[in-house]
Amino acid sequence: MQKTNKIRVGTAAVLTVVLGVSSLIGLSSSANAAPVTINFWSRAAQADFIASVGAEFNKVNPNIQVKVTTIPDAEFVQKLSTASQSGSAPDVTSVDLILVPYFAKNGVFEDLTSYTNALSFKSKLSPAHMALGAYNKKQYALPFTAEASVLFWNKDLFKKAGLDPNKGPKTFAEIEAAAKAITALGGDYKGYYFSGACGGCNIFTFAPMMWASGGDILTAAGQPTYTDKNVAKALSFYNRLWSKGYVAKSAKTDNGASFAAPFAAGKTGMVGAGAFFVGSLKNNPEINYGVTPLPGATGGKGSFAGGDNIAILKGTKYPAEAKIFMDWALNAGQKFIATKAILPIRSDIAASDYVPQDPRYKVIADAMAYGKTPYSVAYTPLIADGQSPWVKMLATAIFDGKIAAAQAAAQKQALAIVKKQG
């Protein structure tokens, strides 16, 4: 038995070597004919459509085959960091735009400045994506998919609660009043929902309301300002929604596992979410909803201009092929993702291929234009970490009501992080 195993292993080893050598020979003798395989990474948040993007490209480019790998969002930074150091990085990656400064600072991406300047449609590219893709005046990543946050409201519940179903709330007070009326319907009905223990979710849906109220947690240069008094306004607004019982209790521990899902069940009046949610609500045709900008305390509007950038990894063996894929991703690829209910990053393609699909898409496309994205090389430690100053501030302020103390503690923790990460 053992002998046979040994023989089998031996045969396998010999076979592998032979095959390896023959494939090497194959490569060198017909370098142009054999299709080149490009490894392409994406975070799992794009799992719904990213495989079809790769398949579409492969269909029209038989000489270059893109192999798509999706990485869990929470592990993306560490996976790409370690892979880039061990030489096992992909050739091209889609990357949450907010993470680009960190990778660009550490020299993980190829410099695309001259490539960018040669693009005829450069002015049509999403400004937020371009800003986040730049580091020290060089362009390291280009826009790929767009995502903006807006407020979703359930028109049927508004009607049921005696509110005007066709008017989305425009201030904190209006949200609060609507949430109160809907919660008063009793039973499982709740006015509002958010994922209280999820840093990324709240930078997407809560921070815009903070920004629209004139507050921010970071300066343009990435210095923490967690103690801002307008940040306090937004925190105390969420604290009121929570302590008055307008939000389902599960919000407190929700690490993003539910995110906007309770809204899709039809018992939640309002939720902050993005373009992706319009796509997933197609599975719930019974939900009659509208979308409106996320408001500030006394009006105004805020949005998180999010989505992914696309970047070429330094050290790729196929820079030319990677650029061909990038070309496609910025042109035909944008028209393709628009058919998958994903907001394109080119204003011209968004207007021609995306907005006409659904009147609600216009609100989201507009939000993309006025949206904002924090620029920091320390996004992960400052915001995404489940114990980050951002998440801790939200927990203490919203659920325990200790707003000033929460802000002060977060500021202290954030200063230490910024000092370390430079």
Partner 1 sequence: MASANISLTRNRKTSFAKKRARAGFYFVIPASIFVLVFFLYPFLNVIWMSFQDWPLLGERSWIGFENYRTAFQDIEFINSVKFTLLYTVIVTPLLFFTALGMALLIKGTSRTTKVFRTIFFLPVVIGFGPASYLWYWFVDSRVGPAPQFLRVLGFGDQEEQWLGIMPLALFVVIVMVVWKFAAFQMILLMAAIQGISKEILEAAEIDGAKGFTLLRTITLPLIKRTISLVLILSVAGSLLAFDQFYIITGGNPNGSTLTTVFNIYRQSFLQFQLGYGAALSVLVAIALMLISLIQLRVLRGDDHE
The site for partner 1 (CB under 8 A) is made up of: 77-78, 81-82, 84-85, 102-103, 105-106, 108, 197, 248-250, 252-253, 255, 257-258, 262, 378, 380-381, 384-388, 392, 395-396, 399-400, 417, 420-421
Distance of closest approach, residue 329 Cβ to partner 1, in angstroms:
25
Q: Residue 84 or residue 334: which is nearer to partner 1 going by CB?
A: 84
Distance of closest approach, residue 234 Cβ to partner 1, in angstroms:
20
**Three-state helix/strand/coil letters over the chain:** CHHHHHHHHHHHHHHHHHHHHHHHHHHHHCCCCCCEEEEEEEEHHHHHHHHHHHHHHHHHCCCEEEEEEEECHHHHHHHHHHHHHHCCCCCEEEEEHHHHHHHHHCCCECCCHHHHHCCCCHHHECHHHHHHCEECCEECCEEEEEEEEEEEEEHHHHHHCCCCCCCCCCCHHHHHHHHHHHHCCCCCCEEEECCCCCHHHHHHHCHHHHHHCCCCCECCCCCECCCCHHHHHHHHHHHHHHHCCCECHHHHHCCCCCCCHHHHCCCEEEEEEEHHHHHHHHHCCCCCEEEECEEECCEEEECEEEEEEEEEECCCCCHHHHHHHHHHHHCHHHHHHHHCCCECCEHHHHHHHHHHHCHHHHHHHHHHHHCECCCCCCHHHHHHCCCCHHHHHHHHHHHHCCHHHHHHHHHHHHHHHHHHHC
Q: Residue 81 or residue 236: which is nearer to partner 1 going by CB?
A: 81
Distance of closest approach, residue 85 Cβ to partner 1, in angstroms:
7
Q: Residue 105 or residue 170: which is nearer to partner 1 going by CB?
A: 105
Asked whether the beta carbons of 371 and 275 are under 8 A apart, the reply is no
Distance of closest approach, residue 414 Cβ to partner 1, in angstroms:
12
Distance of closest approach, residue 387 Cβ to partner 1, in angstroms:
5
Asked whether the beta carbons of 260 and 182 are under 8 A apart, the reply is no
Distance of closest approach, residue 254 Cβ to partner 1, in angstroms:
8
Distance of closest approach, residue 372 Cβ to partner 1, in angstroms:
24
Q: Residue 56 or residue 96: which is nearer to partner 1 going by CB?
A: 96
Distance of closest approach, residue 296 Cβ to partner 1, in angstroms:
28
Q: Residue 161 or residue 382: which is nearer to partner 1 going by CB?
A: 382
Distance of closest approach, residue 61 Cβ to partner 1, in angstroms:
32
| Lookup: tokens for 271 | 């939720």
Q: Residue 72 or residue 162: which is nearer to partner 1 going by CB?
A: 72
Q: Residue 196 or residue 306: which is nearer to partner 1 going by CB?
A: 196
Q: Residue 224 or residue 333: which is nearer to partner 1 going by CB?
A: 224
Q: Residue 255 or residue 316: which is nearer to partner 1 going by CB?
A: 255
